């Protein structure tokens, strides 16, 4: 990992949890802090890459020198990723993308009324961005996904890798309270398409991001 590791490479990183709007003042989101994605953007920048950080709203400050594209919903994220991907060498999808979005977003604030004791929300599946990317992926491009699992980490990870045509998947067990979503530390299992797995020690998201950047550089060199 040096300032030359990704020199001349264009890398897109997505980060944070998407917001799916119910009405002008309410949305559905998740626990993602964005820390893992920001750590990857920082590491890629330090490794000499030209970095585009497509980010949902977070409390974090973007690393200096990266191009920031703010997004809110999965639909926004999908549009931004699909627009940037054709010019990119690598995409790291660290964003925690919603699985479902409201079927309709109300134009006005949803009101409670005296005769309504319940509100039933209809949600529909979001588009799978990595699957859309897989359809336009060129042979020289590298794509990396993250998977937050609470069970069968390896089997579920392997399935995702194949279904999303990924070169690498970083899987983490979010049922553990000491790592993952919000914390500064993480522990991931890197899964390669040939089934080879490699578990990192529990360490800072910074160190995991550097290991990931090294792997992206190696994958690009092999293409």
Q: How many residues does the chain have?
A: 223
Q: Which of 27, 38, 146, 190 binds ligand C5P (CB under 6 A)?
A: 146
Residue 95 sits in the site that holds ligand C5P (CB under 6 A): yes
Among 43, 44, 90, 147, binds ligand C5P (CB under 6 A): 147
What string marks each residue from 102 to 141 as x (binds ligand C5P by CB under 6 A) or -? ------------------------x-xxx-----------
Q: Contact 90/144 with Cβ under 8 angstroms?
A: yes
Interface with ligand C5P in residues 156-175 (CB under 6 A): 160
Segment contacting ligand C5P (CB under 6 A): 27-35, 49-57, 142-150, 184-192?
142-150
Binders in 64-83 for ligand C5P, by CB under 6 A: 74
Tell whether residue 38 is a contact of ligand C5P (CB under 6 A): no
Q: Which residue in 185, 140, 155, 119 sits closest to 10, CA to CA?
A: 140
Active site (annotated) includes residue 30: yes
> Which secondary-structure segment (H or E) carries 27?
strand 26-28
Give the C-alpha separation, 198 to 218, whole Å. Answer: 15
**CB count, 10 Å around CB of 185?**
16
Q: Among residues 55 and 126, whose Cβ is nearest to ligand C5P?
A: 126
**How many C-beta neighbours within 10 Å does residue 68 have?**
13
- Shortest Å distance, C-beta 201 to ligand C5P: 22
Tell me whether residue 130 or residue 216 sits nearer to ligand C5P (CB atom): 130
User: Is 130 annotated as belonging to a binding site?
Assistant: yes
- Shortest Å distance, C-beta 3 to ligand C5P: 27
Output helix, strand, coil percentages for the chain, rounded to the nearest 5. 30, 25, 45
Residues in contact with ligand C5P, total (CB under 6 A)? 12
In a 3-state reduction of DSSP, which class is residue 168?
A: strand
Residue 92 CB, shortest distance to ligand C5P, in Å, is 8
129 is in an annotated binding site: yes
Q: Which of 32, 17, 143, 116 is nearest to 73 (CA)?
A: 17
Torsion 23-29-34-35 (CA) sign: positive
Q: Which residues contact 44 (CB under 8 A, 6 or more apart)?
A: 6, 11, 13, 51, 92, 209, 213, 216
Residues forming a β-bridge with 14:
54, 93
Residues that bind ligand C5P (CB under 6 A): 74, 93, 95, 97, 126, 128-130, 145-147, 160
Q: Which residues fall in the annotated binding site for CTP?
A: 99, 109, 127-130, 146, 160, 164
Catalytic residues: 30
């Amino acid at each position: 990992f040096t300032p030359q590791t990704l020199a001349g490479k264009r890398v897109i990183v997505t980060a944070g949890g998407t917001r799916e709007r119910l009405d002008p003042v309410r949305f559905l989101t998740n626990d993602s802090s964005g820390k893992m994605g920001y750590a990857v953007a920082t590491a890629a920048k330090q490794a000499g890459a030209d970095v585009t950080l497509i980010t949902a709203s977070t409390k974090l400050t973007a690393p200096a020198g990266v191009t920031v594209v703010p997004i809110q919903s999965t639909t926004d994220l999908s549009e931004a990723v699909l627009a940037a991907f054709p010019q990119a060498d690598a995409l790291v999808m660290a964003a925690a993308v919603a699985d479902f979005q409201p079927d309709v977003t109300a134009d006005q604030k949803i009101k409670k009324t005296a005769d309504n004791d319940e509100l039933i929300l209809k949600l529909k599946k979001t588009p799978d961005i990595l699957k859309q990317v897989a359809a336009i992926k060129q042979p020289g491009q590298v794509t990396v996904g993250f998977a937050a699992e609470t069970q069968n980490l390896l089997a579920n990870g392997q399935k995702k890798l194949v279904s999303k045509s990924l070169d690498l998947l970083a899987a983490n067990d979010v049922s553990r309270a000491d790592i993952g979503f919000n914390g500064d530390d993480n522990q991931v299992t890197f899964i390669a398409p040939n089934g080879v797995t490699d578990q990192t020690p529990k360490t800072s998201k910074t160190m995991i991001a550097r290991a990931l950047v090294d792997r992206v550089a190696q994958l690009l060199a092999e293409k």
